[in-house]
Every structure is written in structure tokens, then in C-alpha cells.
Amino acid sequence: MSDVKKVVLAYSGGLDTSVILKWLQDEYQCEVVTFTADIGQGEELEPAREKAKKFGVKEIFIDDLREEFVRDFVFPMFRANTIYEGEYLLGTSIARPLIAKRLIEIAKQTGADAISHGATGKGNDQVRFELGAYALNPEIKIIAPWREWDLLSREKLLAYAEKNGIPVEMKHKAGGSPYSMDANLLHISYEGRHLEDPAAEPEEDMWRWTVSPEQAPDAAEYIELEYEHGDPVALNGQRLSPATMLAELNRLGGKHGIGRLDLVENRYVGMKSRGCYETPGGTIMLRAHRAIESVTLDREVAHLKDDLMPRYASLIYNGYWWAPERQALQVLIDHTQSTVNGWVRVKLYKGNVSVVGRDSKTDSLFDPTIATFEDDQGAYNQADAGGFIKLNALRMRIAAKRKHR
């Protein structure tokens, strides 16, 4: 008999977690509490409630976390211009610490002694959920069914679902398994099936948020973002909440075919994995944020941020959002953003985001009287550059002399 009496399950209502709900009841003989997070996946969540009720769940949590997700997780990450392995904007990774946080809160609220998730034993999400959970409650018990059961394929899950009367949507039209998909306000990801061959081009009908660049409008669209302390706060003169801002940028970016990515990445558990991503709003935000920083950040501060960014990105990708080193880096990053205020104008056109203007009335370090190619009226003494160059060349001149002895 298991010592687990009550478990909080991160529950989407999809195939995996629907099977897990029934499996937990059967294998652990415990009460299951379901938690479904609305982080902007764009799907109706009430069916998840009805499915949970069908299997006797009495405590059902469906929480709207969209504003918290963007305000407290996405925006802080974008202040660092975060990219993993040069391309990935970490749309899945950044959602996991929030879900872990809420799982622990609900476990405490309901008196549960365990939490459970649907991440597989091959992926990164198991690490992210569990590192976050242990950081927030070191005594919590975690049940990871994919590491315990023998239902190790989509086909076996479908068979189990059919046997136990679990309704399943989105069976692939050709009879095979559906893509493994994850969506939130920042992105939507696709893995599995056709994509398991890294040489195969993604099917066009796979993409959901973006039109193909070839089919995007023939006319460019200009938008203007206003920034305060490193975060976008207004779009085309209208102040928007964080979640509304990202949703609208997704709409605009998707309309113009912006934000598609086909990537083979290195998972934390050691394997390479091929995935495709749509991150239209995030792609716009990244380009615009770097643009406003270009006129408001000191050179060495900007370069220090760029030096630290890959480490920061790996911490998020690998699940260390709640770790002290990520929190310490965040303090530094947020400190740099105090002067990142102003506006950026970008042009959206057939998959591209082009910065066409940027300025800050209060914090710009761009001095046109010094940078001008015209007569600067003595603002900059060009003769000073000669000594500057000689001093910086000194070590190389000494080395060159040694070689010629």
C-alpha cells in the first residue's frame, strides 16, 4: 500500500495526463487533485474540468496565470536578451518554474503529500519541474509516471485510454500519433512524428500561429514599442498589460510570418532533439529590446550582459530558475535595466523584423555632437586617438619585436 494519500497532478486534459490521472488512482490508490494552468495556450480549459470530474476528482484547480507568467517570468528573461544555443527563445523552459511554483502552493493548500507531472524520462521538463519543486519544498514527494510505467509509446497510451474509457482528441488524420505540442503565450512547440528525422522539412500544415513568409502580406507594417525599465509597456501609443502586449505581438508577428524556428538542440539529459517552434511576439520583443539597449546602456555593461547571457540561458533551459545563481544574475540584469527607457520602431515584413528607429528622451547615451561625420565644433579631439591606439598596441609591438630578434 502506497504512503501517498493525496497527489497534485499537473493536468492538461490531453492524452498523457488523462492517462496519468487514471493510472495514479489505480496504482497508488490515492486521491488526485488536478491543476491546469492557463498560461495562454489558446485552448478551452473547461473540458479538462469535465474530464477530471468524470474520474471522480473533487478538487480541481484551473488558474489563469497569464499575467503572472509574462510579468514575472517572460519579461525578466527578455531583459537579458536570452537565447539558448544561438536560436531558441526558451518558450517551454520559462513556463516550467511557474507551474512548479503553483503545484507546490496547491499541495500545501490541499494537504497533499506528493505532486505528479507528465514529463517523460527522456526530456528536460522532468528536470525543470522537479528542480523547481525541490527548491520550493525540499520534502515534497514527486511521482513521475513515465519513469515507472511500461506505457512507453503514444500507441500504448492510446490503447490504455481506449481500454479505460478516456476520451482523446487530435488523433492524427493518417492514423499515427499526433505531434507532441506545447503552447503558451510565448510560443508553441512541435516534436515527434515527421520531425524525428532531422533531414525532413516540417510540413506546412503543422504551423498554427504563423503564415508562411511567402504568404505574408506584400506590404510592410510598422509598429512602435515603448519601454520602461527594460519591459515593453505600450504598443503604438496604447499602454497594455504584459499578457495583452505579448498576445498582440503574437498576432502581428504571426500575420507577417515571423518567429518560425527549426532546431536540433542539446537536451540537458544528454541527447540531441529536433523541435520546431513559433515565437512571433518574442522574436519582435528580442529585436526591439536590443535596439533600445543600444542607445541607453553603457558599452561595458552591454557587453557584460552579452557575456553572461549564455550562462543565464542554460540555467533556464536546464531548470535552475529557482536556484541562487539565477536569482543573483537576475539582480544584476534588472539593475542594468533602470535606464532602458524609450521607444523603438520596427518594420514587420515577410518573416523579418527590422529596427528602423529608436530613441530615449531621458536615458540616451547617443551624442550626435560627438558621433557626427560633420564638423563637431571641437566636441571630440581626433588627435587623442593616436595615443589611445599606441597604448593599446603596446603589448603587440613588444611581442612583434621579440619575434624579430
Pick from 291, 299, 306: nearest CA to 342: 291
41-76 pLDDT tens trace: 988 898 899 999 999 999 999 999 999 999 999 999
**Shared fold status for 6-69+92-178 and 183-359:** no
The full set of domain ranges for the chain reads 6-69+92-178, 183-359, 368-403
In terms of residues, how long is the chain?
405
| Strand-by-strand arrangement of the 260-266 sheet | 180-183, 188-191, 272-278, 260-266
pLDDT averaged over 10-residue windows placed end to end, the chain, 405 residues: 89 90 95 97 89 94 98 98 98 98 98 96 95 98 96 87 81 52 95 92 95 98 98 98 98 98 96 97 98 98 98 98 98 98 98 98 93 86 93 95 86
For 114-171, write each residue's pLDDT tens digit. Answer: 999 999 999 999 999 999 999 999 999 999 999 999 998 878 988 999 899 888 765 4
Is the C-alpha dihedral spanning 69, 75, 81, 87 positive or negative?
Answer: positive
Residues with catalytic roles:
16, 96, 125, 180
The DSSP bridge pattern shows strands 114-116 and 6-10 to be: parallel
What's the CA gap between 173 and 206, in Å, rounded? Answer: 12
Fold assignment, 183-359 = Argininosuccinate synthetase, chain A, domain 2 (3.90.1260)
Q: Is 331 helix (H, G, I), strand (E, B) or coil?
A: helix
Question: What percentage of residues in the chain have a pLDDT greater than 70?
Answer: 97
- Fold classification of 6-69+92-178 is Rossmann fold (3.40.50)
